Structures are given as C-alpha cells and as structure tokens.
Chains A and B, each alone.
Chain A
Amino acid sequence: MLSVTPDILTDLPWGQLLVNGLALGSLYALTAFGIVLIFKTTRVITFAQGETAMFSTFVAFTLLTAFQLPFAVAFVLTMLFAGVFGALIERVVIRRISTTTVLNPVIVTVGLSLILLGAAGWIWGYEIRTFPDPVVGPPFHLGTVVVSQLNALIFLVTLVLMTVLFAFFRFSPTGIAMRAVAENRMAAQLMGVSIGRMNALGWGMGTAMGAVTGMLIAPINYLDPSMMGDVALKAFAAAVVGGLTSLPGAVVGGLLLGIVDSVVGFEVPELRNTIAFALIVLVLVVRPGGLLGRHETKKV
C-alpha cells in the first residue's frame, strides 16, 4: 500500500490534491483563526470551538428548512447569532471563572462543548441530516483539475473574510484596540480600552468564524451533533502549529494541515491522523513557538 517510489511526485494528481487540500485547509484555517482570536483576546484556550460551530450550524439549518430563508440570508443571520452566542458565553461564563490556573478554563470549555453536544442532540436529535448545498451546478475545470462549486465558494468566503479581518485589525480603531489588549492588557486598559468589551468581541468574532466553517462543511460532512469533532481537532492542531498567538499562523497551519490531510488521505488513508500529528510534534520540537508564533519565555 505504501508505495513511496521515486516517481511518486509525478504519479500523484497533485493539482487535484492541492485544490481539495486547500479547500479543507481553508475550513481548518477559519476555525483555527477563531481559536487564536479567542486566545489572544482572553488568554483562554477554547475547546468548545467545534461545538459552538456545530450548534450554530443547526441554527442555520433551522433557518434554512423551517423558515425557508435563502442561503445568504441564513448565512449572515447565523454569523450574527454565533457572534452574540460567543459574546454571551464570554459574559456569562468565561469572565466569571478564575484564570489563575490554566486548568479552570480548559475544564469549563470542555464542559461547554459537552453541554452543547447534549443540547443539540436533545433539540435536533442524533440522526444524520443532509445540509442544503449553498451552490449547485456543474464543477469548474482547470485543465484536469476539478473545482466543485462548493470548494470555489469556500475559497471565496475564506478570502473575503481574511481580507476583511486583516483590514479590521489593521485600520479600524476597534481592531487596533483588540490587538492592544492582546499585546498588553494593562497598558491597553490604561489607555482607556474596555477589556471586557474587547473580550466579548473576541469571543463573538471567534465563534462566528467557527459558524462559517460549520455552514460550509455541513454540505460535505452532513449535519449531526458530532459533525465538528474531527474538524475541530484539526483546527486546534492548526492553531498550535501556527503558534497560537499568531493569526496568520493559524491560517498557514490550517492550510498546511488541509494539504497533508489530502495527500496522505490519498496515499495512505489509515495514516491520515498519524502523519498529521507526527508533523505537529515535529514542528513544535523544532520551533517551540509554532511556525509563526513567538516563543514566550517567562522570567522567574
């Protein structure tokens, strides 16, 4: 099965593997971006990113089927819902827990993910549902490479979101304030930035990013409470590989993992996770701060 021959480079359908990998990687990147955003603003590593995304996707499903809204409308409404949902989680739960130990937020967010898993199962059931395709129609052909309409949409949405977010953090006063909080909470506070508002905003935006992933992956992976398990794990890994403190790092990590997933999944599918995580260990051994992160050392 594992046939690593010299002509492997020419044997593989690289173009197609790359397109598939980048599409999957874009989704990992969006989720990872949310994780990093939340970490940077609130210093909490969230393990609930997958489940908030799943829950939001069920909300989108309800808007699409019960209310028969057009996809674009449901998409925007769900992003808004997820934003409020994330901000509420921050206000009601995260803000009140002590972060004196790293373990508290970990347990709380793991707990949140289990609560959401159970709640979704209770409200919508555990059966596997199909999620409406946002785009239908014949795929695009680039030479021998096939790009499905959904993959094209995934690229488009990722590109637009990343550009908007880049501009937001670069040019808008709120974005700059958020970056200031991430850099130095105390200094930001002294400059008059409301830490609480920035924290809620970070959670809201991070959760909305996850919701986008959920809505774009559900047409492929189907909709059920466990739909985000694998994706969230990979996104988490992408965030760590990228450096946890670096937003571009999350994107690079996500795309990288997507491509690894695609190529290894083609050649030796049973080793997909093994090789992905071996790579992560390798990156962290060689560059403890991640690909684009800063290695933070504390002075005793």
Chain B
Amino acid sequence: MFSWMAWTLPTALVFVFIFSCIGVLAFLEVKYPGGAERTGVFGITTTRGDRLFISILGTVFIMLGWLGLMGTPLWGGLTLSIIWAVFVFRKV
C-alpha cells in the first residue's frame, strides 16, 4: 500500500523520531499545560513546541551547511545540531 512512498529505514527513523518528539510534547502538555512559555536569550517568547521547531529547523541548516562546506561524514554536523538543540531548549 505504501510502496509508492519508497520508504527506507533511515528516513522512517527520522519521521518516527519527529513524531515521538511531538508525542512527548503532547504528553507534557497534558501533564503540565501552558507549554512552559518563556522569553529567552533572543528576546522571543517560545513554548516547548516552538523550541522543538527551532531545534529541528536549525538542525536542517546546520546539516546542510556541514554537507556543503565539509562534506561527508556528517558526525560533526550532528554534534553541532545536538549542541544547538540543547542550547535552544535551555536558553531560547
């Protein structure tokens, strides 16, 4: 049924990861409503969902930048992305 979508294990894992993150966010929202809103270092007000979005969007550009400038392997880009995500969730 989904063969036309040309699934591969790595891409499936990416989507499983993203949807699990959304699932965790939903769970946290039920448990602690309000989205943990705050104003961070960039002066913008963010909720947990915003922070996830900023982390993922930032990761996309970090990975593309790494691929464009340094090429493969992407471990360096991944490390930077994780640092970026931790920074976003703690400070932004």
Task: Indicate, yes or no, whether A interacts with B.
Answer: no
Instruction: Write the residues of chain A forming the contact surface with B, with a CB cutoff of 8 angstroms.
Output: none
Instruction: Write the residues of chain B forming the contact surface with A, with a CB cutoff of 8 angstroms.
Output: none
